[in-house]
């Protein structure tokens, strides 16, 4: 099905921003929200976009969005997730933090912590935390992925395996309904797997748009994490998996105190 000129412009915006909303598009094109919803549905039917609450995101099962575009997707939700995850981390502890826009928000929320040791393959996390005198930062060595500042490869894995930390903070590009945690680059996945294997506790941070995406490389499974911090878990299957595997679920958008579910 050919796309209309307006739909082509919507696709271009999605490629630039990562996410488009019905409200913004209706205002931009001076049409009704119903018209925009039909455009988005048409583009989703052709698997060019994926619908999310209030809009749509660019669809790709084999290639990730640009890093700046990913930063703009659910930015407020990611900040709230980062703050909630940081509250779980005590002073005088050790951390492994991997690449991701949400893990960066955790790092920003950690700047007032005291006597932390942070090992990371995320140059953005390192640049955020190294100026603070009460936080020691160790950066994994190896090739730097230009698209996002991730340090990848065997040298990074070797360094990570020298540690056994209190907590790992990891992100994922997509989360499947069966609980699989997924990413796009097998080299980054190997680093993430080493991080999981060398931590006493694993905190997964991911907003709900990750449930609308797919990626080809398996990091691991939800059962390997102890805490899942998200804005809102919209999947009943994943919620049930959290209960089955004793994963503590924290939803930052919930106003119900019982949303913080400890299923240990």
Distances (CA, A) of 172 to 70, 142, 218: 12, 21, 10
The number of domains in the chain is 2
Number of neighbours of residue 188 by Cβ within 10 angstroms: 25
Q: Which residues contact 28 (CB under 8 A, 6 or more apart)?
A: none
Shared domain for 167 and 200, answered yes or no, is yes
- DSSP sequence for 112-154: T-SSEEEEESBHHHHHHHTT-TTEEEEE--SPEETTTTEE-SH
Looking up residue 158, the CATH number of its domain turns out to be 3.40.50.1360
Shared domain for 94 and 217, answered yes or no, is yes
Instruction: Classify the C-alpha dihedral 15-16-17-22 as positive or negative.
Output: negative
Q: Is residue 264 part of a domain?
A: no
The whole domain housing 41 covers 5-59
Q: Is residue 17 part of a domain?
A: yes
Q: Is residue 68 part of a domain?
A: no
Question: What are the two backbone dihedrals, phi and then psi, of residue 218, each rounded to the nearest 5 degrees?
Answer: -85, 125
Q: Is residue 65 part of a domain?
A: no
Shared domain for 100 and 215, answered yes or no, is yes
232 close to 253: Cβ distance less than 8 angstroms: yes
Q: What is the pLDDT of residue 32?
A: 95
Shared domain for 108 and 210, answered yes or no, is yes
Q: Is residue 108 part of a domain?
A: yes
Strand, helix or coil for residue 52: strand
**Residue-wise pLDDT tens digits, 2-54:** 778 899 899 888 877 778 899 999 999 999 999 999 999 998 887 778 888 88
Stretch 245-260: mean pLDDT, rounded? 77
Shared domain for 80 and 27, answered yes or no, is no
pTM of model > 0.75: yes
Query: What is the spatial distance between Cα 163 and Cα 197, in angstroms, rounded to a whole number?
Result: 10
Shared domain for 214 and 148, answered yes or no, is yes
Instruction: Classify the C-alpha dihedral 15-16-21-25 as positive or negative.
Output: negative
pLDDT above 80: residue 107 = yes
Question: What are the two backbone dihedrals, phi and then psi, of residue 138, each rounded to the nearest 5 degrees?
Answer: -120, 130
Shared domain for 126 and 222, answered yes or no, is yes
Q: Is residue 139 part of a domain?
A: yes
203 close to 170: Cβ distance less than 8 angstroms: yes
**Residue-wise pLDDT tens digits, 133-151:** 999 999 999 999 887 888 9
Number of neighbours of residue 130 by Cβ within 10 angstroms: 13
Shared domain for 82 and 31, answered yes or no, is no
Q: What is the pLDDT of residue 16?
A: 72
Distances (CA, A) of 89 to 65, 144, 152, 166: 29, 28, 25, 9
Structure tokens at 143: 């090739």
pLDDT above 70: residue 261 = no
Shared domain for 9 and 85, answered yes or no, is no
Shared domain for 27 and 138, answered yes or no, is no
Shared domain for 91 and 162, answered yes or no, is yes
Q: Is residue 140 part of a domain?
A: yes
Instruction: Classify the C-alpha dihedral 153-155-158-160 as positive or negative.
Output: negative
pLDDT above 50: residue 246 = yes
Q: Is residue 66 part of a domain?
A: no
Looking up residue 14, the CATH number of its domain turns out to be 1.10.10.10
Shared domain for 40 and 111, answered yes or no, is no
**Residue-wise pLDDT tens digits, 194-220:** 999 999 999 999 998 888 778 899 999
């Amino acid at each position: 099905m050919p796309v209309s000129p307006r739909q082509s412009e919507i696709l271009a915006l999605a490629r630039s921003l990562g996410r488009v909303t019905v409200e913004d598009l209706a205002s931009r094109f001076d049409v009704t929200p119903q018209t925009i919803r039909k455009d988005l549905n048409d583009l989703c039917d052709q698997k060019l976009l994926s619908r999310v609450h209030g809009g749509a995101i660019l669809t790709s099962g084999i290639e990730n969005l640009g890093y700046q575009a990913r930063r703009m997707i659910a930015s407020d939700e990611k900040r709230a997730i980062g703050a909630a995850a940081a509250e779980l981390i005590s002073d005088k502890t050790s951390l492994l933090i991997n690449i991701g826009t949400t893990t960066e928000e955790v790092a920003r929320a950690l700047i007032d912590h005291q006597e932390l040791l942070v090992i990371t393959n995320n140059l953005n996390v390192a640049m955020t935390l190294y100026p603070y005198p009460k936080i020691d930062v160790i950066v994994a060595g190896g090739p730097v992925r230009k698209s996002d500042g991730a340090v990848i490869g065997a040298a990074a894995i070797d360094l990570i395996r020298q540690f056994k930390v209190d907590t790992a903070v990891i992100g994922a590009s997509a989360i499947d309904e069966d609980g699989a945690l997924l990413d796009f680059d097998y080299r980054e996945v190997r680093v993430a797997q080493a991080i999981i294997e060398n931590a006493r506790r694993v905190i997964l941070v991911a907003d709900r748009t990750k449930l609308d995406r797919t990626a080809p490389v398996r990091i691991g499974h939800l059962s390997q994490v102890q805490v899942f911090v998200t804005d809102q878990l919209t999947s009943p299957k994943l919620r049930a998996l959290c209960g089955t595997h004793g994963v503590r679920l924290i939803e930052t958008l919930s106003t119900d105190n019982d949303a913080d579910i400890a299923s240990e």
